[in-house]
Chains A and B, each alone.
Chain A
Amino acid sequence: MTKDRLADLQAGILALRSNPNNALQVVRQMSEHRTMHIKPSRWSWNRFKDFMHFYIMLGAIPAALVITYVNLFIGPARLAEIPEGYVPEAHEYFPHPITRWMAKHINKSYQQEYELMCHHIYEVEYEQKLRKAEHRIKQKMAEKQDTQAYYYQPVTSRNERSIRVNTETDIEMSGTN
C-alpha cells in the first residue's frame, strides 16, 4: 500500500491525506525528493584541469616523445669537409636533425634573406635618388624661374565623361524625383 502511494507521489499524482478534523484533504505533491546542493563554484578548478590535460596530453607528451625518438634514433650529424665542387644546401649546415628539418621546410636560408634585403635596399635607394633629383629640379626651377615644365599636370576627362554618361542614363531610366 505504502509503496504504491510513494510511487504515485513521485509521479506527481494527486494524493489524499487525512487531517485531525477527520476530513480528507487534497494534496498535490508534484516534486521529487531532490534538493539543490548549494556549494561554491568549481568552474575555475574544472577549467584548470582542462588546460592541464590539453597542454600535457597534446603538447608536452607528444613533443617529448618526438624529441626523444629524434635524439636517440636519428642523432646529430658529424662535421665533415665540403667535397670538391659540391655546394651544400642551406639545411646541411646544421648538426641537429630538428634544426635541419626546420631549416629545410620552415625557415628562410641566410642566403635567401640576404638577397631579399639586397633587393629591397636597391629599390629603396632608387626611390631615394629619384626623390633627391626631384628636389634638385624644383630648386633649380625656383632659382631660374624659366620653365613651367615640371609643374604641368596632364588632365584626362575620361572619368568626367563616364560620370556624365551614367548620370544621363540614370535620369532616362528612373527620371528626376
Chain B
Amino acid sequence: MEDPPSANGKTNSYAEFMQAVYRTVDRPVTWFREKVVVSNRPDHVYYHQKFRRVPTIDECYTDDLVCRFEAQQQFNRDKLVDSEIVQLVRQRYKECLISEQPDHTRKCAKLMADFQQVSENFCMKYSDLGPLNNVKDAYMKQKHRMLWERRHGKVGTGMKDQDAL
C-alpha cells in the first residue's frame, strides 16, 4: 500500500526505494492481469438467493410433518442469517476497539451496547438447545420463557417466592 502524499513536500528516500522495489514486481503483474486476463473474461453475474417465507412452527398442525420440515428448514436458514448479523456487529465493535484503543470505553460504548443487545437476543432464541437444531425445542424454549416471565417478571430480576405465586 502506498503512503498518502506528504504534506510538506519532503520525501523519504528509504520509503521511495522500498516502493520502487514493490513496483518492479507489481507493475508487470498488474499489466498482465488488466490487459490479458480481465479483457478476455466474459462478464457473467451471480445472484443472492432470496427465499419465500413459509408458515413457522407455531402455525403448523401437530400432525403435519411436511409443514414441520419446512419450518425446520426456515429456522436453519434464519439461524445462519442471524449468526452473520451477530458476526457483523461483533466485527464492527472489535474494529472500533482496535482503532480507538486508549479511549475505547468512552468511544465504543454505543457499539458495545448494540453488540450486547444483539448477542443477548440471539442467545435467547438459539442457545442452550443442545447439538441438534430443533425448531420445536426453540419454540418450547420461548413458551417456557414467556411462562417464567409471567410468573416471575423479566428474566434477570430473580425468581419470586414459591408460596407467594
Give the CA-CA distance A77 to B37 in the complex, in Å. Answer: 14
Q: Is B49 on the interface with A (CB-CB < 8 A)?
A: yes
Question: What residues of A have a CB within 8 angstroms of the CB of B49 in the complex?
Answer: 88, 93, 110
Give the CA-CA distance A75 to B44 in the complex, in Å. Answer: 9
Instruction: Type the 1/0 row for B68-103, where 1 means its CB is closer than 8 Å to any CB of A.
Output: 011001000000000000000000000000000000
Are A80 and B45 within 8 A (Cβ)? yes
CB of A131, distance to nearest CB on chain B (Å)? 13
Interface size class of A (residues with CB under 8 A): 20 to 34
Classify the secondary structure of B's interface with A.
loop
Are A77 and B44 within 8 A (Cβ)? yes
Number of A-B residue pairs at CB separation under 8 A: 56
Q: Is A79 on the interface with B (CB-CB < 8 A)?
A: yes
Give the CA-CA distance A73 to B36 in the complex, in Å. Answer: 9
Q: Is B42 on the interface with A (CB-CB < 8 A)?
A: yes
Are A73 and B46 within 8 A (Cβ)? no
| A80-B47, A92-B46, A94-B46 known; A122 vs B37 contact (CB < 8 Å) | no
Interface size class of B (residues with CB under 8 A): 10 to 19
Give the CA-CA distance A81 to B49 in the complex, in Å. Answer: 10
CB of A35, distance to nearest CB on chain B (Å)? 62
Question: What residues of B have a CB within 8 angstroms of the CB of A97 in the complex?
Answer: 44
Q: Is A16 on the interface with B (CB-CB < 8 A)?
A: no
Question: What residues of A have a CB within 8 angstroms of the CB of B45 in the complex?
Answer: 77-80, 92
Pick the contact of B46: A72, A74, A95, A118 (CB < 8 A): A95
Are A75 and B41 within 8 A (Cβ)? yes
Pick the contact of B37: A72, A79, A100, A117 (CB < 8 A): A72
| A73-B37, A74-B42 known; A82 vs B50 contact (CB < 8 Å) | yes
Give the CA-CA distance A80 to B50 in the complex, in Å. Answer: 13
Q: Is B7 on the interface with A (CB-CB < 8 A)?
A: no
Question: What residues of B have a CB within 8 angstroms of the CB of A51 in the complex?
Answer: none
CB of A134, distance to nearest CB on chain B (Å)? 16
- B binding-site residues for A, Cβ under 8 Å: 37-38, 40-50, 63, 65-66, 69-70, 73
The 6 closest A-B pairs by CB, nearest first: A80-B45, A77-B46, A75-B41, A77-B44, A125-B65, A88-B47
